[in-house]
Structure 1
């Protein structure tokens, strides 16, 4: 896998892990009730999807890349919604999705997901 693709996969694992840890902290802090379980499910479904997509990154594929882009756009919109609500966590929540989107649009990452592999620095295919 090219460097940007490795970074994409690693960041996706970080996002999923942080979300799961934060959700567990929420359940510990509030206790387990129907309301807290519903909140936990709402917060974790994007992380589950992120984990599933991250596990498929080595295989590549155009549909996978599009799915990751759609998910990251969703995360950007969530971050913007938090900023709009005056939540100070909105700004940090924008950083990783934007970095992932930048990485996804690099030529080597596009080549990986398109099924063609670029050699580093030569611009050619092998």
Structure 2
């Protein structure tokens, strides 16, 4: 494997959960006024798409960091970005102090979805 080659995994199930996470993040960006970028427009379009019409790929970069690649079918264009899984990070911190009853444990996070992914031959 080349040093720059990324090992992608595809999310085949639970796409609605990913789109829900994306809608929450988009709402956050809207509140901050960060809506003028091309990437925001794509992510808005993606979040408004049906789960059946999207392809979602992840590559793990670190314990809480993921590279995300998505496309809305039938388009060929793939957009990528980095996602920091703050939910999983907070779960880890709370476990370390012995608090496993916090509501953060009931939220679906990107790490949960990554655990469901399948190997992919995607090349970007």
Provide TM-score, normalisation by structure 2: 0.37
Please state which structure has a larger fraction of its residues in strand.
2
Higher helix share: 1
TM-score (norm 1): 0.36
